[in-house]
Amino acid sequence: MDVLRRRIISGVIYGSVTLMVVYVGGVLFGAAVLAVAILAGREYQRMVSRGGYRPLYALQFGLTAFFVAGAVFLTPELILQGLALALVASLAWQLGSREHGRRPFLDWALSLGGALYVGLLFSQFVALRNLPGGLGWTLLVLFPTWICDSFAYLFGRVWGKHPFFEWISPKKTWEGAVAGWIGGTGTALVIGHMLGLSVPLALALGVAISVAATFGDLVESMIKRQVGVKDSGSLLPGHGGILDRIDSLLFAGVVVRCFVFGVIGA
């Protein structure tokens, strides 16, 4: 119970601060997203280093800042061109690596992967919050994802019996996953109704958010399993690191941003 109590307390604090920053929006929100992305990226780098690789800090952090800032100031075409230029320059730079035992291309690829995984995906929150009605759309990511994660954890802890992706995360169960999907979808239905979405649209979006959140969590578990770590960090008591807390949001945010772009047209 001590672990659960710490998890609840830190979750309440984390959620309250997050909601305050999301409500304020603007520069504060963009700066907060960048700070969290840098911290999560640093945890990713430490995990990669445990696997024997040497991440390229300038490439990963530079691209992460570029993606987050670009979500506010640049068009998608400029972001794509900037990414292409960064790839060419960083690959050419790796040609100068002559240190014995180095694996420059793998180090480069893993660093690029970290920038895309954390920086690009997390930048979708900035793009989403800056849209007309962006506060509501951002809350439509946060609350269903949080409820999905909480239901999956609590129901799986109490009633879970049948493994779900056991080879990636042995403690996850089908009972927990289904409970998470039901809770996340129900939450999305309520918020979607408040945003003026029809029931079928809100239902479909809620299912998509919940499933995406689950797979976002599984992907981070896959990374941790490959490098042999339990948590990405220890910054949040009961939750692990920053990346452990936002892994589900990374995937869910992309789903909602694509929905708003493709269906709403914003």
Q: Rounded to the nearest 10 degrees, what angle do helices 57-73 and 76-94 cross at?
A: 170
Q: Compute how many other C-beta atoms are within 10 angstroms of the C-beta atom of residue 76.
A: 10
Residue 2 has what pLDDT? 64
Residue 171 vs residue 35, higher pLDDT: 35
Instruction: Tell me whether residue 89 is exposed, middle or buried, using C-beta atoms within 10 angstroms of its C-beta: 0 to 12, 13 to 18, 19 or more.
Output: exposed
Per-residue pLDDT of 190-229, as tens digits, reads 999 999 999 999 999 999 999 999 999 999 999 988 887 7
Confidence of residue 237 (pLDDT cuts 50, 70, 90): low
Per-residue pLDDT of 140-181, as tens digits, reads 999 999 999 999 999 998 998 899 998 898 889 999 999 999
The model carries a pTM of: 0.92
Contact call for residues 164 and 173 (beta carbons, < 8 A): yes
Tokens of 119: 């920086």
Confidence of residue 238 (pLDDT cuts 50, 70, 90): low
Q: What percent of the chain has pLDDT over 90?
A: 71
d(CA 130, CA 29): 10
Per-residue pLDDT of 99-115, as tens digits, reads 766 788 999 999 999 99
Residue 129 has what pLDDT? 96
**DSSP letter string, 71-103:** HHHS-HHHHHHHHHHHHHHHHHHHTT---TT--
The number of helix segments (H) and strand segments (E) in the chain equals 10, 0
Q: Which residue has the tokens 């939450």?
A: 187
d(CA 114, CA 219): 13
d(CA 237, CA 262): 38
Look at residue 89 and tell me whether its pLDDT is greater than 70.
yes
User: Length of the chain in residues, anyone?
Assistant: 266
The per-residue pLDDT of the chain, averaged, comes to 90
d(CA 127, CA 136): 13
**Domain locations along the chain:** 2-264
Confidence of residue 236 (pLDDT cuts 50, 70, 90): low
Q: End-to-end distance of the chain based on CA atoms, in angstroms?
A: 45
Residue 173 has what pLDDT? 94
Confidence of residue 44 (pLDDT cuts 50, 70, 90): very high
